[in-house]
Amino acid sequence: MELVGGLRNEDGTADEAGTTIWECADQDECVGVCRELLSTGIRYHVDEITLGPAVNLQAIRHYRILISSDDLDRAKKRLGIDEPQNTIPSPDAQDDEVVDPAMELPDAGLPLNIAWERRRRYLDAWYPEDATVEVWSQDGEDLSSGIALALDANYIRSRCDSEVADGKKILRTTSR
């Protein structure tokens, strides 16, 4: 993505603020708009605004594309718009999806006494060679460490067998 230090008007004067032509929350969308502007020879500047971490700990970013006010009409024509665009979803937007309670998954959580017993047994002596029940296998991208961590977080002892010919396998003991 080409970033321009400062936008200049046709008369050579600096356009410090610039004119917003597009705002979005998607980096690919921003790159696509910038490519369109670049193909027409319209100089632009992108402000990347970091709003904070999301649920998955990736930063929430918004992108604002600024152009010279002299290029506004050409940019609108090239992008096929009548006015500057803002495709950032409103935080107040209601989710229109209607949830059918019959389609909800039942609670699969363990009763407290079973969960407590599993945690207590997790601290007991454990021998990896006793893990003989295959609970997961793969032959593509290596995801075994994530699977092992998920099992470990639920107090399920497991081992990864990477010596098999058809990929990796995660094994656990037969006792729960």
Q: Looking at residue 58, which CATH number applies to its domain? A: 3.30.70
Which structural domain range is residue 155 located in?
Answer: 109-172
CA distance 30 to 68: 17
What pLDDT is stored for residue 17 in this prediction? 60
Task: Check residue 45 and give its pLDDT.
Answer: 93
Looking at the structure, tell me whether residues 142 and 73 fall in a common domain.
Answer: no
Alpha-helical runs (H) found in the chain: 27-39, 72-79, 112-122, 144-153
Q: Does residue 96 sit within a domain?
A: no
**Residue 93, in any domain of the structure:** no
Mark whether 14 and 81 lie in a shared domain. Answer: yes
Residues 114 and 73 in one domain: no
Instruction: Give the total number of structural domains in the chain.
Output: 2
- Please list the ranges in the chain whose pLDDT falls under 50: 1-5, 8-15, 176
In-domain check, residue 2: no
Summarised one tens digit per residue, pLDDT across range 17-53 is 689 999 998 889 999 999 999 999 999 999 988 876 6
Show the tokens assigned to 148: 């092992």
Residue 12: predicted pLDDT: 46
Answer for the pair 169, 136: CB distance below 8 angstroms, yes or no: yes
**Residue 34 token pair:** 């910038």
Q: Can you give the pLDDT at residue 108?
A: 55
How remote is the C-alpha of 20 from its chain's centroid? 26
pLDDT, residue 128, reads 80
The model's pTM: 0.45
Which of 86, 121, 151 finishes a domain? 86
Question: How many angstroms from the chain centroid is the CA of residue 64?
Answer: 20
- Strand-pair category, 19-24 with 59-67: antiparallel
